[in-house]
Amino acid sequence: MFDDAFNPSIRTVGKVPPQEQNMLNKAINVLSFAVAYSALVVSSEAASGQDGRAQNELSEKPKTELILTDHPLVDTVWDLKTGKQISQDAFWRLAVTQDHLLVGEKHDNPRHHEIQAEAVHQMGVAGRKPLIVMEMVEPKYQQWLTDLKPEDVSGLSDKLEWEKRGWPAWSMYEPIFKEAAFYGMTIAPGAPERELLIKVGKGGVPPEDVSKDLMWSQKFSKEQHESLLDELERSHCGVVPRKSLEPLVEMQRLKDASMGLPMRSAMKTEQGSVLIAGTGHTRKDRGVPWWLDSNDSRLSLAAVEVNSDNFQLSDYSLADVNRFDYVWFTGRVETIDPCEKYAEQLKKMGKKHTQKE
């Protein structure tokens, strides 16, 4: 998720060697494109909010409803190790026993956030108080999350500058906060400091003490690196040159390492954690699970939108045991591929980006 942190007006201060400045300019250009693309997609997507058990008052809900909700795979859960369907109850019984539960979302899908809120609820019912780590929250907002009470949640949107920073409707995420507050769970920022993210995007590295805490020296293999580049290239609709996406690889690594840090810390008190993040972050092969202690049990769930012509588990690329442990199918927000929907705008943006290169 890219927001106004990556403003193209950001520049280094003072004199910079021409070669280094050229590298920084390229990084800034691709970040600028990422911001514009993200804004283009997010601003056009209306999402539907849903009620949860612990809520009393929720924010006004957008009106858009999911489609393909009558698809036979919707709300089925699959164990990717066995390739077999299991009941939702069986899934939750297993999930609440794990040290770490990672629930991946498509940001604008309200059903995905219902599942995440249910994950928090199930932990509470089981008598657990895991740390709730959220990709969407930056460290500077921690003050608003300390000792959070259910009655305080409705006013959090403005304090967290939620939609101002480009996240989909607060009403979708609010039930997650409500459930956590209801059960007395602590919510922790999962995002890195904005300044550090920009620094890494420009080719820098975290300070020595931060690098140690993050385990930043843990490098990707060539296969992991190329896999992430492939994903970034697809997510930018092939408009941005592959070499220009390199800064985003390190930024993604930083995001995942930053989410992994509080999750590892949560094990010091044996409370465990629940991660709320996009599916790209919850995948086992190179996402947040890769940054966790191998001795800790973990379960990675991907909430996956169904396709109108795909009715078998094997039809879905995310149904890969190397990426996730389980998938939970849901309806779709829309059927139109964003790359097709915004083809003309993206083409113009891509030309501008290439010219800057």
- Which CATH number fits the domain that encloses residue 346? 3.40.50.11550
> E strands along 18-147, which residues?
77-79, 84-86, 100-105, 131-134
pLDDT at 47: 34
Torsion angle of the four alpha carbons 225, 226, 229, 230, in this order, in degrees rounded to the nearest 10: -150
**φ, ψ for residue 59, nearest 5 deg:** -65, 160
Tell me how far the alpha carbon of residue 23 is from its chain's centroid.
Answer: 27
pLDDT at 191: 98
In angstroms, the CA 325 to CA 32 distance is 34
**φ, ψ for residue 36, nearest 5 deg:** -65, -40
Crossing angle, helix 222-235 and helix 246-266, to 10 degrees? 110
pLDDT at 128: 98
pLDDT at 335: 74
Query: Taking the CB of residue 9, how many other CB atoms lie within 10 A of it?
Result: 6
- Single-letter amino acid, residue 311: F
Length of the chain in terms of residues written: 357
Domain count, the chain: 1
Give the N- to C-terminal CA distance of the chain in Å, as an integer. Answer: 23
Q: Indicate the helix (H) or strand (E) that contains 249.
A: helix 246-266
Residue 137 in 3-state DSSP? coil
Query: Taking the CB of residue 59, how many other CB atoms lie within 10 A of it?
Result: 17
Q: Is 346 exposed, middle or buried (0-12, 13-18, 19+ CB in 10 A)?
A: buried
pLDDT at 341: 78
pLDDT at 334: 87
Instruction: Give the chain's count of helices (H) and strands (E).
Output: 12, 8
Q: Which domain holds residue 85?
A: 4-356
Contacts of 352 (CB under 8 A, 6+ apart): none
In the structure encoding, which two tokens stand for residue 24, read together?
């920084």
77-79/84-86 β-pairing: antiparallel
Q: Is 190 exposed, middle or buried (0-12, 13-18, 19+ CB in 10 A)?
A: buried
pLDDT tens-place values along the chain, 357 residues long: 443 333 333 333 334 444 444 444 444 455 554 544 444 444 443 333 333 455 444 555 555 689 999 999 999 999 999 999 999 999 999 999 999 999 999 999 999 999 999 999 999 999 999 999 999 999 999 999 999 999 999 999 999 999 999 999 999 999 999 999 999 999 999 999 999 999 999 999 999 999 999 999 999 999 999 999 999 999 889 888 999 999 999 999 999 999 999 999 999 988 999 999 999 999 999 999 999 999 999 999 999 999 999 999 999 999 999 999 999 999 999 878 778 877 777 777 665 555 555
In angstroms, the CA 29 to CA 9 distance is 10
Sign of CA dihedral 341, 228, 300, 315: positive
pLDDT at 18: 44
pLDDT at 349: 66
pLDDT at 59: 54
Let me know: does 345 contact 320? Beta carbons within 8 Å.
Answer: no
In angstroms, the CA 292 to CA 296 distance is 7
Torsion angle of the four alpha carbons 244, 238, 322, 100, in this order, in degrees rounded to the nearest 10: 70
Which residue, among 348, 342, 335, 167, has the nearest Cα to 237 in the 3D structure? 342
